[in-house]
Structure 1
Amino acid sequence: MTGLRVNGTAVATVVDDPDLDTRLAPRPYLHPVRTLSGTVVTGELPEDHPWHLGVSVTCQDVDGVNLWGGRTYVRGEGYVWRDDHGRIVADERTELPDGYTQRLSWQDGAGRVVLREERSVRARAAASGWELSLGYALSAPTVKEVHLGSPATNGRTGGAGYGGFFWRATGGEAVAFTSTGDEPHGSDADWLAVTVGDAYTLVFRGLAGRDRWFVRLEEYVGVCQALAWEQPLRIVPGTPLTRDIRVLVADGVLSREAIAAHVAEAAI
């Protein structure tokens, strides 16, 4: 395990090869992630959803392979346990002054590669705290298209289109709001903020295409940049699916004005 630092302060631990049950869809992830003052802002293996692993990129349906973990949503049956879990393997990593780049293989249970990924993870100082940048490119490994799905695309109602970049946060009373003032869950707003008590604030950016924000605040606190919100997403051979997610990690409660100022500064 290695980590990310901002001006000498450790802000995140990198877990590349977790020794986990296959039903948890083992994959590289970041945990613990901390504010600059040391407050932990990610959860790992929580009792309610043990397949939630800090900060990761994952999907419940990659051509029928469950890389999210837990039960699989099956149309007409609901959530059921199936022998369909895969894992994401870190093949190669290159260290950078502010983070690292990585090549990964998304595999089914037999080790067959269903997706290839190029990932860049970096950390930088920001006026209100520090910012995580996680960019990824998902490519079809053969000449066949790859289809990404979700419980929503497989028949579940109620906005269950999760799958993609996912952040499982620590608990506590949480509030979410967006740049547009829309309902956070299902929004396509430019940014989404979550404050947990008076302890910390997370500000997420980076939606593209038909992505939506998947937000949970009651049973647990979590945010997903959902790739297949209502319709399956196709990855065409030779045309990688690319995303660049930015998350501001700040101590305390940030106002809407402070968040807007950060986003404006980051855009310069």
Structure 2
Amino acid sequence: MTLRLDKQPGALDVAFGGQPLLRYVYQPDDPQLESPRPYLYPLHTLGGDPVSLFRPHDHVWHRGIAFSLPNVGPANFWGGVTYTRAQGYVQLPNNGSQRHHVFTRLDAQADAVGVTERLHWLTEPGETWFREQRRLGVTVAADQGAWTLTFGTELTNVSDREIVIGSPTTEGRDNAGYGGLFWRGPRSFTGGRVYCGDREGGDELMGVRAPWMGFTGRHDGHGRWSTLVFVDAEDNPDHPVQWFVRSEPFACLCPAPFFATEVPVAPGATVSLRYAVVIADGDPGLTGAADLAALGHAALKAPEDD
């Protein structure tokens, strides 16, 4: 069996042996209020089970997996309301967007898919603040019932001012440091298990620092389990990253590099981040989750092509 990459109008599809793994929507038609940006949805295991949620009623701006930042100077590239120190959560006319510019690489081999994309980050009034080079990769470890998504971003400030990236926590809200490569899980994953290093738990792992974190949830209907393990690249700033994670009231996971510390980005400066997401059938337990994390680490160490 081999990997296949198909370009559709506004989206890329990746499948393995005929089984769809992901769709990357690079030209979304979302309303401005939801901060339009590329996203990965749907996502499936090798066995065909869905492991993502799109536009849930409680947070309509959640999008499967998407690189989303809620506090970028006065702008919001997350969607919906903005948390401010003075007013708490409030809807402002500040919902920016990430616009696809061009693909510079679309490469599909039997054992690997590689994508390089350029994007522009525009504020709601239409100013371009950042230009981004984004890399996506897909590999499969069929013998381990898993496949790996790699995600890399180089985000360059092209404005004439310093832009500070933070989170609701840096604005004063405790344990709300979300922002980054954010995953929203299926509703049946609520109450699922969180794996992290030598620990297993749930919401009490919010904000811990670790090189990887995994989430295992159970599906409605057949009752099978699926697992996602996110891995923070060793060369990321402030590694190991802090994690934003919830098992209740819904399943979500995010390596959050701006969780508790604002990062100023000077004009012309670049923020570079890399992650791997390993998606597997079943519940491997804590030891097995560490094995999946090792797959992610190996994918991050593989050479990147432009």
TM-score by length of 1: 0.93
Equivalent residue number for residue 160 of structure 1: 176
Matched, 1:195 2:195: no
Equivalent residue number for residue 209 of structure 1: 237
CA distance in 1, matches of 2:77, 2:95: 6
Aligned AA for 1:120? R
The gaps in structure 2 that reach 5 residues or longer are 1-10, 219-223, 299-306
Range with greater deviation from structure 2 (179-188 or 160-169): 179-188
CA distance in 2, matches of 1:5, 1:99: 13
Matched, 1:225 2:255: yes
Structure 1 pair 103/233, CA: closer, same or farther in 2 (3 Å)? same
Structure 1 runs of 4+ with >3 Å offset: 6-9, 236-239, 262-268
Aligned residue pairs total 267
Equivalent residue number for residue 101 of structure 1: 116
Query: What is the deviation of 1:265?
Result: 5.3
Structure 1 pair 85/265, CA: closer, same or farther in 2 (3 Å)? closer
Aligned AA for 2:246? R
Query: What is the deviation of 1:38?
Result: 1.1
Query: What is the deviation of 1:130?
Result: 0.4
Aligned AA for 2:283? V
CA distance in 1, matches of 2:295, 2:165: 34
Equivalent residue number for residue 64 of structure 1: 74
Query: What is the deviation of 1:264?
Result: 3.7
Query: What is the deviation of 1:48?
Result: 0.7
Structure 1 pair 87/187, CA: closer, same or farther in 2 (3 Å)? same
Residues 4, 122 of structure 1: 8 Å contact kept: no
Residues 149, 276 of structure 2: 8 Å contact kept: yes
**Pairing 1:17-32 to 2, within 5 Å after superposition:** 17-32=27-42
Residues 174, 194 of structure 1: 8 Å contact kept: yes
Aligned AA for 1:10? P
Equivalent residue number for residue 133 of structure 1: 150
The gaps in structure 1 that reach 5 residues or longer are none
Structure 1 pair 264/22, CA: closer, same or farther in 2 (3 Å)? closer
Residues 146, 234 of structure 1: 8 Å contact kept: yes
Structure 1 pair 267/109, CA: closer, same or farther in 2 (3 Å)? closer
Query: What is the deviation of 1:5?
Result: 2.8
Could you say what the CA RMSD is over the residues aligned between the two structures, in angstroms?
1.8
CA distance in 2, matches of 1:108, 1:235: 16
CA distance in 2, matches of 1:124, 1:146: 35
CA distance in 2, matches of 1:64, 1:105: 17
Range with greater deviation from structure 2 (42-51 or 230-239): 230-239
Residues 231, 297 of structure 2: 8 Å contact kept: no
Q: Secondary structure at the match of 2:230?
A: strand
Aligned AA for 2:274? D
Q: Secondary structure at the match of 2:165?
A: strand
Residues 166, 222 of structure 1: 8 Å contact kept: yes
Equivalent residue number for residue 40 of structure 1: 50
